[in-house]
Amino acid sequence: MKTLVVDHPLVAHKLTALRDVRTDSPTFRRLADELVTLLAYEATRDVRVTDVTVETPLVTARGVRLTRPAPLVVPILRAGLGMLDGMTRILPTAEVGFLGMIRDESTLKAQTYATRLPEDLSGRQCYVLDPMLATGGTLAAAVRFLFDRGAQDVTAICLLAAPEGIAHMDETFRGTGKPIRVVTAALDERLNEQGYIVPGLGDAGDRLYGVV
Ligand SMILES: O=P(O)(O)OC[C@H]1O[C@H](OP(=O)(O)OP(=O)(O)O)[C@H](O)[C@@H]1O
Ligand SMILES: O=c1cc[nH]c(=O)[nH]1
Ligand SMILES: [Mg+2]
Contacts of 164 by beta carbon, 8 Å cutoff, 6+ apart: 134, 135, 136, 190, 191
Residue 205 CA, closest ligand 2 atom number: 7
Determine the Cα–Cα distance for residues 201 and 109; give it in Å rounded to an integer: 20
Length of the chain: 212
In the residue annotation, 188 being an active-site residue is answered as no
With a 6 Å cutoff on the Cβ, whether 201 touches ligand 2 is no
**C-alpha angle 74-75-80 in degrees, rounded to nearest 5:** 160
Q: What is the pTM of this model?
A: 0.97
| CA 133 to ligand 3 center in whole angstroms | 12
User: What would the pLDDT profile of 63-75 be if each residue is shown by its tens digit?
Assistant: 999 999 999 999 9
Q: How do residues 74-104 score in pLDDT, each as one tens digit?
A: 999 999 999 999 999 999 999 999 999 999 9
Which residue numbers belong to the known binding site for uracil?
197, 202-204
Residue 3 confidence (pLDDT) above 90: yes
Q: List the catalytic residue out of 19, 30, 103, 144.
A: 103
- Can you list the domains of the chain with their CATH numbers? 2-209 (3.40.50.2020)
Residue type, 167: A
ipTM over 0.95: yes
Could you tell me which of 44, 25, 26 has the C-alpha nearest to residue 36?
44
Please report which helix (H) or strand (E) contains residue 38, including its range. Answer: helix 25-43
**β-strand pairing of 95-96 with 72-77:** parallel
Using only C-alpha atoms, what is the Rg of the chain? 17
Q: How far is the CA of 171 from the centre of ligand 1 (A)?
A: 20
User: What confidence score (pLDDT) does residue 191 get?
Assistant: 98
Cα–Cα distance measured from residue 14 to residue 34, given in angstroms and rounded to the nearest whole number: 8
